[in-house]
A and B are shown apart, each in its own frame.
Chain A
Amino acid sequence: MALPPATAALLAPPALPERDVQSLRPAHSVGFNIATAGPPSNLYVTVNDLLQVMLMGISAAPVLVDVRILTADGQIVIQEETISAPANRTRNFFTFRLPEGFILSVSVGPQSVALPRGTLYAQIALVRSQAPAVQYTYILAQGYIGLLAPIYWPNSRSDFSTYEQGLPTSLNQAAPGAGLDWSFTPVVQLRSLLQSMQCTLTTSAAAGTRQVVIQISQAGNIIFTAPAPSSQAPSLAVTYNFTPGVTSIPTAGGVCVTEMPNEVTINSNFTISTVTGGLLAGDQWGIIKVGTMDWLDQ
């Protein structure tokens, strides 16, 4: 079997860097103990420490964990593990025992699958705790991971899950029964910023004017109500758009736009729904799409 590219590169002749650029004078007074240098890391660990990786998100993509350890006998050992977690937004902990030594580096990142930011959140930590649950104790790195965005130590990054950009998400909301309005509630432990909502109301031939209203509520308490700028007559199909940052436009060409507040941030405590005045038994809501930017938040 052919050697992996990394190994083939290692087996090439040793590098012999040349002084291509004149940047120093030859004499210097300070000397360095090259023969028996101190460990090139200050992350000393013992057999009582555990290395823990936490994954949480909506991808079960394989994730590579690489650890380099300088053990007490002076050897540099490299460990590599492949882990993956269920795509259900729960926290999944992977714990690895450690020898005594100095951790030289740790990295966690997807192996080959592209992951848009906001899809999979990871933490690297040392655990040494008697608290009731196996959880991080000493954080080494944390953040959303992607092909070009691993988390690592040293020079690590520590990104919180609600910082910077989240995951653009488009949901197809199930159509309700005829004559009924629809509603949308984010899943638990998620923070969602509303981008837009689109839905189509097809009215029956029954006489009557339908007035569409979008409503945001919390446990039945209404927080915001936005009426569509025009009502809808029988036997028509009108596509309604609800979005921040635009001016409301009455129905034109079968499309109606309703302005929303410019930052509708909600979680599973909140519900967005239509409340259609004059909705009749044969009227039907359909093609309901909700666009949000989502962050894990727990």
Chain B
Amino acid sequence: MSSAGLLPSMTELLGAPAKPEASVFTEQPHEPITFAHSELTPPTNLYVTINDSLILQANDLVGGRQIFLDYQILLPNGEIVQGEETVTTKAFSTGGVGKTIPLPEGFILRLGLRSINLAARGEIFGVVYLHRPPGINQLLLQGYLGATSAVGWPIGSTDFMTNGPGSLQFHVVTNPAAGTDWAFFGTSNVRTRIAMINATLTTSAAAANRGVVLQIDQQATPYYQAPASAVQAASLAVVYNAASGVTPLAPVAGVAVLGLPTPCMLGSFWRIHSVTSNLQAADQWSQITIQTEEWMDI
């Protein structure tokens, strides 16, 4: 708030009226063409009636952030009215949020959708439809919101959830019980690119050669298996790393590398997991961390 108690934008507006001067001489004075400035047609073709409404929807990987929809509408009496609606997002895993905004008769001049919170790319996705009963939804704008990704109508991009870079995420997988393998599942309604994986297998003293394989599947038939280049003997700790575009390597300084597909994409509820042959009852997987790039995908 400003010192006068007004919002900053209102303080600006209540200043002395702008009197633009031709500060740059760029034209000769003679202009045979003149422009009408009364009895004009509305400066937009988005005519709406009382039977129409705006529908605002927002999905947020994080949640708890405020989304603002602003719109200007030219009413039948010639007045231009500024509308502003807001919703607070929920975490994507708990569903999106929405709001229906009834409209008066008039002409929508412009719409703007924004988050007042800074948001990295891929986190907050907003959509605004014009709903015309019985079931017609006319898409006006959609896209990821952020300080450097404004969306609006009639100007502004209309983007899809899976376009462009996604959200950088990091996951720690809970250690499984001793003697069992671990699994990471793609989140519901999220497209997940596996960037890097790190996991440590500590083998017990029980004699056996353990063979580590990373497997990707849809909880059924695998579509990719990455075997380690060397087996792991008893009483050792080996860090297994996996990523796209790397050459599989046998352990060097206790670190082994496994190759993943390029790109390594998981659909909703797909999984990547270890399948370790000869895993002994006291063997333990631990420190399982995964970096991903994710796109909401509904």
Chain A residues with a Cβ under 8 A of chain B: 6-7, 10-11, 14, 34-44, 46-48, 50, 56, 66, 69-74, 76-80, 91, 95-99, 102, 121, 123, 125-142, 153, 156, 158, 160-163, 189, 191, 211, 213, 216, 218-219, 221-229, 231, 244-245, 247-248, 259-267, 269-270, 277, 295-298
Residues of B at the A interface (CB closer than 8 Å) are 7-10, 12-13, 15, 17-28, 31, 33-37, 40-41, 43-44, 68, 70, 72, 80, 82, 84, 86, 109-112, 114, 116, 118-121, 143-144, 146-152, 155-157, 159, 164-165, 168, 170, 172, 195-198, 239, 241, 243-247, 249, 252-253, 255, 257, 262-263, 287, 289-291, 293
Whether B289 lies near A69 (C-beta < 8 A) is no
The answer to whether B150 and A136 touch across the interface, beta carbons within 8 angstroms, is: yes
Q: Which of B18, B37, B287, B289 contacts A218 (CB 8 A)?
A: B289
CB distance from A126 to the nearest CB of B (A): 7
Interchain CB contact under 8 A, B241 and A225: yes
Residues of A within 8 A of B70 (CB): 128-129, 131, 137-138
How distant is A216 from chain B, measured CB to nearest CB, in Å? 6
Q: Which of B148, B253, B263 contacts A160 (CB 8 A)?
A: B148
Nearest neighbor of B263 in chain A, beta-carbon distance: A263
Contact of B112 among A71, A139, A224 (CB under 8 A): A139
A10-B27, A139-B155 as given contacts; A218 in contact with B10, CB under 8 Å: no
Instruction: Give A149 to B281 CA distance when docked, in angstroms.
Output: 63
Known contacts: A50-B9, A69-B20, A132-B116. The answer to whether A264 contacts B155 by CB under 8 A is no
A218 near B120: Cβ-Cβ < 8 Å: no
A221 and B172 contact, CB distance less than 8 A:
yes
The 8 Å CB contact of A262, one of B109, B111, B262, is: B262
Question: Which residues of chain B are near A121, meaning CB under 8 Å?
Answer: 148
Besides A131-B68, A161-B149, 13 other A-B contacts (C-beta < 8 A): A71-B20, A125-B112, A128-B9, A130-B10, A138-B110, A139-B156, A160-B148, A191-B121, A224-B197, A224-B243, A226-B257, A261-B243, A296-B148
Residue of B nearest to A76 (CB): B27
Taken together as a complex, chains A and B put the C-alpha atoms of A129 and B83 apart, in Å, by 9
A263 touches B247 (CB 8 A): no
Chain A contacts for B143, CB-based, 8 A? 160
Chain A residue contacts of B120, Cβ below 8 A: 189, 191, 267, 297-298
Q: A36-B34, A221-B289 in contact; A140/B20 too (CB < 8 A)?
A: no
A128-B9, A128-B82, A263-B245 known; A139-B150 Cβ under 8 A: yes
Contact status of A222 and B84, CB under 8 A, knowing A69-B20, A128-B9, A265-B195: no
A138 pairs with B198, CB closer than 8 A:
no
Shortest C-beta distance, B67 to chain A (Å), equals 10
Interface pair B119/A298, CB less than 8 Å apart: yes
10 contacts between A and B (CB under 8 A): A47-B18, A69-B20, A98-B18, A123-B150, A158-B150, A160-B144, A189-B118, A191-B120, A219-B170, A228-B252
A-chain residues with CB within 8 Å of residue B23 when the two chains form the complex: 78-80
Please state if A132 and B7 are interface contacts (CB–CB under 8 Å): yes
Instruction: Tell me the nearest residue of chain A to B156, going by C-beta.
Output: A139
Within the complex, the shortest CB–CB distance from B68 to chain A, in Å, comes to: 5
| CB < 8 Å A-B pair total | 274
Task: Using CB atoms, name the residue of chain B closest to A4.
Answer: B25
A73 to B36, CA, bound (A): 9
8 closest cross-chain pairs (CB), A and B: A262-B245, A261-B243, A161-B148, A97-B18, A224-B196, A139-B150, A42-B43, A160-B149
Interface pair B147/A225, CB less than 8 Å apart: no
Nearest CB on A from B129, distance (A): 18
CB-based contact A225/B239 at 8 Å: yes
**Cα separation A228 to B291 with both chains bound (whole Å):** 22
Given contacts A127-B9, A130-B7, contact A259 B195 (CB under 8 A): no
Q: Which residues of A contact B24 (CB under 8 A)?
A: 66, 78-80
Closest to B16 in A: A97
Question: Does B35 contact A298, Cβ atoms closer than 8 Å?
Answer: no
Pick from B8, B24, B291 the residue with the most CB of A within 10 Å. B291
Contact (Cβ within 8 A) A77 B114: no
Interchain CB contact under 8 A, A261 and B148: no
Q: Nearest residue in B to A99 (C-beta to C-beta)?
A: B18
**Quick one: closest A residue to B28, CB to CB?**
A10
A162 touches B164 (CB 8 A): yes
**Contacts A71-B20, A139-B150, A221-B289 given: A153-B255 contact, CB under 8 Å?**
no
CB atoms of B43 and A44 under 8 A apart: yes
With contacts A74-B35, A134-B8, A224-B196 taken as known, whether A244 is within 8 angstroms of B152 at the C-beta atoms is: no
Docked-complex contact B148 and A142, CB < 8 angstroms: yes
**Chain B residues, Cβ within 8 Å of A127:** 9
B residues less than 8 Å from A41 (CB atoms):
43
Contact call B244/A262, Cβ cutoff below 8 A: yes
A260 near B246: Cβ-Cβ < 8 Å? yes
Pick the contact of B9: A99, A123, A129 (CB < 8 A).
A129
Q: Chain A residue with minimal CB distance to B159?
A: A160
Smallest CB gap from B196: residue in A: A224
In the complex, which residue of chain A has the Cβ closest to the Cβ of B17? A47
Q: What is the CA–CA distance of A226 and B239 in the complex, to the nearest angstrom?
A: 10
Check B80 against A46 for contact (C-beta < 8 Å): yes
Residues from chain A with Cβ under 8 Å of B37 in the complex: 39, 72-74
